[in-house]
Each structure stands twice: as C-alpha cells, then as structure tokens.
Amino acid sequence: MVTTYLCHISRLSTSHQVRQNFSFIRRELTALSNCILQAMAASSTTLPPFTSRVNPTTGKLEWVVEDENYDFIQEIARSAYTDMLHDDERNKKYLAGIQKAISSVHSRGQQAHVLDIGTGTGLLAMMAAQCGADTVHACEAFEPIGKAARQIVAKNGFEEKIKVIMKRSTEIICGPDGDIPRRANILPAEVFDTELIGEGAIPTYLHAHKHLLTDDCICVPHAATIYAQVVQSTHVEAFHKLQPVRMTGCDDIIPNESMADCSGAASVYDLQLSQLSPDKFQPITEPLKMFTFNFSKGDFETKGQNEVRTTSLISGKCHCVFMWWELDMDPEGEVKLSTAPVWAHPDGNKAPWRDHWMQAVYFLQKPVETEKGQAINVTLTHDGYSLWFTVNSTTEEGPIERPICQCGAHVVWSRPRIGMLNDSARNIKYIAALKKVINPRSICLSISDGSLLPLIAARLGANKVYSLEPNSLSRRVMQGLLETNQLEQTVSLIPHLAQELPSSIFHSQVDVLIAEPFFISSLLPWHSLYFWYCRSALVPHLSDDAVILPQGALLRAIAVEFDHLWKFHAPIGDLEGFDVRIFDELTQKAIKDSDAKEEPHHLWEYPGRPLTADFNIMEFNFMETIPSVPIEVVGEVPFIGSGTCHGVAIWMDFKLDDKISVTTGLQNVVTEKSDVLDWCRTWKQGVHFLKHNPEIKNGSIQKLKYKASFKPESGNLFFEFEVMER
C-alpha cells in the first residue's frame, strides 16, 4: 500500500515549473509521505488515491484526490473512441469487407474462424457473428473497454457466439488449452492512426501471422497503400524552422547554424489538410503511391524503404511532403477507404470527415530546389512505428536513418509554437509596442518560455535584459540564439521561476516587464494569466513606474455551430444496428469525471459558423495586483445566425498598450452576414461544449446567457452558458 501511494505521489507533471522546482517538490513529497505513513500507522482506513500537478495559472503545486480508476478514466476520456465510431464510412466499409471475407472462406468449403484484434466496443466481432462466422474471438487489452465489450456483446445477443479476451494480441495463446483453440482464417482489425503504423500495426500483424493466423487467412482490411505529395509551401514551412525576425533600423534576429541545418523531429505533424487553403501551397508532384502493406500475406518487414521517381510539376522549392493512406478492405480491391484530403480524394468535396485519421506533414531537412519537368526521387522509409521522407534528384544509396533533432529547438518548441515565433504580423506588433518603451537606460525582464522578446528588446537598445528560462533545454536553445546574434552580453538567462528569484539577483530594479505571454505548461489560452501571478511575485524587483507589457487581457467568446467537432462528445446509441449505449455510459462518465468543461482545439481545422457576434466576457488589468476576492460576471448576447448551438469558443486578447493588441482567437469581425470564422492558427482556443444543443432560428428572441467566475486563489476560471428563449 505504501508503494502504491508513493507511486501516486511521484506521478508528477512534466511542466517546466515542476522540473526546475525539484527541491521544493522533494520537500513536499517527503512531508506528505510522512503524513501518509503516520496516518496508516494510526488507522487501517483505506486512503483515496491522489495525484500531484502544477496549476498552469498560479504555478503552484497542488495535491488532488482522484478516483481509484483515475488512469483508466483519463485514457477513456482522451481517446478518440467516440469520434471513430461516428465515422459512418469506416463502419460500413468494415462491414462490407467482413461480409466478403466470410463468404470467400465459406466458398472454399472452410469454416470461418474470426479473430478481432483491439475490439473496442465489439463492433467488428458482432459484425462477423451477424455475417455468419462460425467462431469469433475478440481481444481487448484495455480492461475497462474489454469489460464494456463483453456487456455489449451480451446485450446484443452474441454472448454464446463471441468470446472477448482481455489481453494484447501478442499475449494470446493459440491451441486446445489456450485462449483460442485454433488459428483464425479471418482477421478484422483497426490498429491504424494518421501515420498508419504509429499504433503498432506492423508488429501486430507480423506477430499474428506467426502465431495466430492460417497461411490462407484474409485480413480486413486486406492491404494499405501510403500516398505522398511533395509540395512547396512557405506557410507550412514556417511551422518547421525558425526564420529571421526582420528589424527595421537595426540588425535582424537570425537563427543559429544548428537550427538551420537540423533535420527536425521525426514525429508526425498531423493536420486536417482539407482545411488548408489551396493558396497556401503549390504541388511539386502528383500524389504518389509510395508503399503497400499486404496485411493478408504479412510479407513485409519491420523496416522498409522504397523510392519513387517522378518529375516536378513546377519550378520551385520542395518544402515538405503531405501524406495519407488508402485501405483495400477486400483482396479484390472493390471496397476502398481513403484518408486523402479533398483535392486528392475520389469523392472530392464530398469526402467524409474524420479526426481519428487525418493527414500528415513530413518536413525535409532543407528545401530542395527543382525545375519544372526535372526528375526527382521521393523516398519513404519506415520502422515499426514511424515514417520519414527524403526528396532529391539522385538515387539514395543504402538505408536512410530516422531524422533526430540535433539543435534542441524541435524538442523544446512544438510546431505551432515555431509557427507563432515566425508570425511576422505578430512580431511587428511586439516590436512596435516595445519601441515605445525601450530606451538606452531600460532594465528589462522577460517572462515567457523560449521567447524572442528578450532579443528584440536588446536589438532595440535596452541597457540590460533578463529572461526567466527555468527549463534547461530551452535555456540551451536560447543561449545559442544569443551567441549567434552577439547578444549574450546584453541578455542574461535566469534559471529560476518568478516566485523564487533571489532578492539581489538584479543590479538595478526592473523598469520594463515584458511577456508574450506564452508558457509551455499552458493548455488553454487563459492559462497565460500565469504572467499576472509572476508579475505579482516580482513587485519587489520592479521600479515604482515600471512599464508592464502586456498591460492587460480580454477574455472573449462566440457561440458556434460546428460541422463536425461536436462528434468528440456525442453519444453513439445505435451503431450499425447494434446497441452500444453501455459504451456511451462509460465514455460520457469518463469525460464528465476527468475533464474540465473546456477543451483546447486548433479551431482553424474544424469549420463552423458563428451564431452570435464575438463578445467580451471579462477583463484583466495586469497593472494592478491580483484581487483577493473572486470576480464574477454575468451577461447575455443575442443570436445573429441560425443553426445548432454546439458550444462556445473562448480565447484571450492581450493588450500590449492602448493601441496594440494580440489575439489568440478570432481574427475576423463577425456580423449578421458572416458565415466564416478565421481563427489564429498558432494558438489553441478553448471550447465549452453545451450538454444540450438547441436549434437557433433567425429572428427568434433566443439569447445566450453566460456566467464566468475567476477564483484568484486557485487561478481557475469557471463558465456557464445557457440558451434562453426570452
């Protein structure tokens, strides 16, 4: 029991505040552990499990009592189960593939023995039983889902036909006394992600062929083909590598050589490419068939490589590779399922929407120049879980190693963060605001993670700039930038949190406090209020007339009808004729128990329509100290559009000064004639999903009523939204 609770205690957040505040955490752990041991010695009462986490707004370490199944609940709530099951095309094409496989096996005079790997709700297993399979076994390693699958199978009348095994497929024993009595000759499985093989499809199929399947088996899907398209796109390239920051009247800020030469991270950058405007990229090649995995044969290896020779459609630069895949659900190739973006999809603009499978972007180490009509080689390499691409004019010799970030920036900065740092319009605003307050006597302090503001302030002539960089890897990256730009004498990186600064760390009081504000630990836009708590902790270090930039922030919102995003939370009910309400109860409870009502999403990838104008909810004045009592606001706004109200999008606008502000959310003005929402692409917005989704009608007297509460002690924001008829 002691071990169990100490494990709960040590399951710490990986945020930079925690990692850099280890001594404080160790003291807290020791004290709390002693309390637990004393309590256990004095009483036999069972203690509830708890976890430690850093509050992203206040920066404080908190101890939270959790449900005993906390980890399971988190996994269920954050999975894509519901979105996946709402994928009608997926469900129907799996059914078609299973029907054909069973008919084919029966036509050979054999019994159809089905093994469903990763059964989830039991859907594919029930499809197989309904289609006449002679035996059906299904495995599910995740125990809560496995138990639900057993209940769903029983509720739909298949308890005697389907055996659910709560093991990984690699743990299943085949034989008369094993989990399955014989090898299966039909394998339906859905073990794919955006990258196709990222969930372990290759080792899963290879193990199944070696230990669980007959030589003449049919897999559903039968095969998968990976497609790639080389494109030119300065817009997408801006999410890959730091670019120079143009500074009028002084030297630019430039990336160091290690950044410029770095291949970047090999991790997939998954995007809804269909939402990428056609004017943001130019195809260098047609879509290319790069690699095919025949799952029924299992004749592939853990590692593989294939080169395709093609010609360039235009003269330009190859910046990156767009990737997607297509499934053949049957050996004849009559039933196909494509994850292609709309411009390459066989159904064009009628292509089905899905989020559990999107498209992927793979960046090249450096842009490759090409001329129209020039021959180029595109090479795909894979291991058991990842893909990577190279593009050049010559044939690759030997295996191509998986790219690894050498500069550190691609480890510290997410791709949206790189895009944020490269946003020239945003940088122009910060430069303009800083020009107004920086002078040769300025002592500046920057509070943001991996920010370029300290370098900008130094370029603008500040006497001295300090930058809080508690994260050691981020500090290394920033030090490289300082040295490349010859600013290491002007800018000093401080390895402390604002709340822990020694009293004599600055030679003079700070007269300019600056922030983007951006923090690695922030998940939702308003978590950046952490700057306010830092500013309050820094009062002893600030001069009486210190400039605070940003001066304040506006919390803003808009009611939205989403085309598809609502599917993340919508219950399934009936699925291809099967009752899966048991699964709905499990997932809905998990979402309720583990998550806040607001979720972070890059809303530019999820189209929707405005139902109200954008409106202000709450204002925060960073020039003032944090209030000691809660702030609560109530209000209502009229609806200006018609549709289904799925939720409310929420974001922050940061007021740099009286005339300049930076938004993390909506970028266009919404009127009664607006039908498009233009969202900031480098920040995630918060979305409050309504439990009930009322229909809004033009000309109605319906209004959106809202209530927001800010609790200064915890830094938490709470929202309530309700559609009122009058």
How far out from the chain centre does Cα 669 lie? 27
Please identify which residue in the block is written with the tokens 């459609």: 313
Q: Which residues of 590-608 are buried (b: 16+ CB within 10 A; e: fewer)?
A: bbeebeebbbbbbbbbbbb
Phi, psi angle pair for 560, to nearest 5°: -135, 145
Q: 204: part of which helix (H) or strand (E)?
A: helix 201-211
Both structure tokens of 116: 């469903």
- Would you say 725 and 702 are in contact if contact means Cβ atoms under 8 Å apart? yes
Torsion of CA 329, 200, 239, 352, to 10 degrees: 20
Determine the 3-state secondary structure of 377 from DSSP.
strand
Active site residue 190: yes
Catalytic residue among 199, 488, 576, 619: 199
Q: From CA 572, how far away is CA 582, in angstroms rounded?
A: 10
Torsion of CA 421, 269, 566, 121, to 10 degrees: -150
Both structure tokens of 516: 């983007």
Both structure tokens of 656: 């740099």
Secondary structure E strands in 237-357: 269-271, 282-283, 288-294, 304-311, 316-328, 336-338
Q: From CA 131, how far away is CA 115, in angstroms rounded?
A: 14
What size, in residues, is the chain? 726
Query: Tell me, what DSSP letter sits at residue 566?
Result: G
Cβ-Cβ contacts under 8 Å for 644 (sequence gap 6 or more): 561, 566, 693, 694, 695, 696
Determine the 3-state secondary structure of 400 from DSSP.
coil
Q: From CA 274, how far away is CA 290, in angstroms rounded?
A: 21
Q: Which residues are marked as active site?
A: 190, 199
